[in-house]
């Protein structure tokens, strides 16, 4: 068994989680994944007990994620919007804990896709930190990790880089608040892959190992050697995941902007990508499980 737990995002197959999505847990297991990432954007359609029961039957771990909208933006100047965002994030924590998730993460600090007229001032970070501190405290009793995911400039104005996520983390100052990296976004925003990965490792709860075009890992421009070298040197033991898209529905294209077929099928993309990533792990991590 390897040192890393490999997760697959359910969006590899669908654009909205419902009870009919439950067989995807078995599909993920059959493809060789250790965990599945459940999206909580349509939280009322997520039934945590049935997910937990099926995951336990399969020996599959669970992680969850979401993004905020302009109606739930915890960095908003509008106190009513911030309150609604806090309530939503607490609900996500409750649902995640009920399904036995290891972590809950995503764009949980501002509205996805929101644009502002200038470079954001410190007040945006302060408002986000105030809310996320309460979310982390809410999650603490459930022993749930909460992760901040930096995403690219076209998807958020607030947290684009690992260093910005670390700054927000320091402001929140809660032990279960962590970082969730994504190499697709890093390919746009970071100067390299090794340095931010190494910085994040003490706080890392999840890592989307996504190619530069969100296709099969190993076929784009991501520096996979740099990422895995940093993970091995930092002795990371935790969840990494594939958030890649081949079969994308019309309702999802607005969010992922996938306009061409990235692989013959999702299963082909996932199978080939997982094999590539596990080869990197084997090369960079010593057989004994120690650092190379």
**Residues assigned a catalytic role:** 149, 243
- String of DSSP letters for the chain: --SSEEEEEGGGT-SS--GGGTHHHHHHHHTT-SEEEEE-TTGGG--HHHHHHHHHHHT-EEEEEEEE-TTS-TT-S-HHHHHHHHHHHHHHHHHHHHTT-SEEEEEEEEETT---SSSPPHHHHHHHHHHHHHHHHHHHTTT-EEEE----TTT-SS--SHHHHHHHHHHH--TTEEEEEEHHHHHHH-S-SHHHHHHHGGGEEEEE---TTSSSTTSSS--HHHHHHHHHHTT--SEEEE---SS--HHHHHHH---S--SS-HHHHHHHHHHHHHHHHHHHB-TTSSB-
């Amino acid at each position: 068994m390897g040192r890393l737990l490999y997760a697959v995002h359910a969006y590899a197959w669908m654009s909205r989680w419902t009870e009919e999505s439950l067989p995807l847990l078995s599909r993920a297991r059959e493809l060789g994944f250790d965990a599945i990432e459940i999206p909580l954007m349509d939280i009322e359609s997520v039934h945590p007990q049935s997910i937990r029961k099926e995951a336990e039957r399969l020996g599959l771990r669970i992680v969850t994620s979401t993004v905020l909208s302009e109606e739930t933006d915890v960095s908003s100047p509008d106190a009513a919007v911030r309150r609604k965002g806090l309530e939503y994030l607490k609900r996500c924590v409750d649902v995640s804990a009920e399904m036995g998730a290891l972590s809950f993460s995503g764009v949980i600090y501002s509205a996805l896709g929101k644009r502002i007229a200038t470079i954001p001032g410190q007040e945006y970070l302060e408002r986000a930190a105030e809310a996320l501190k309460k979310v982390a405290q809410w999650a603490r009793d459930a022993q749930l990790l909460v992760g901040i995911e930096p995403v690219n400039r076209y998807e958020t104005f607030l947290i684009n880089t690992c260093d910005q996520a670390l700054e927000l983390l320091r402001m929140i100052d809660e032990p279960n608040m962590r970082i969730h990296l994504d190499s697709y976004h890093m390919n746009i925003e970071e100067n390299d892959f090794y340095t931010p990965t190494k910085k994040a490792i003490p706080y890392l709860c999840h890592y989307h190992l996504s190619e530069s075009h969100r296709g099969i890992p190993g076929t784009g421009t991501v520096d996979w050697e740099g990422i895995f070298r940093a993970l091995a040197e930092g002795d990371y033991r935790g969840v990494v995941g594939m958030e890649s898209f081949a079969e994308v529905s019309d309702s999802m294209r607005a969010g992922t902007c996938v306009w061409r077929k990235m692989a013959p099928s999702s299963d082909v993309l996932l199978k080939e990508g997982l094999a590539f990533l596990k080869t990197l792990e084997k090369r960079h991590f010593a057989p004994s499980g120690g650092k190379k």
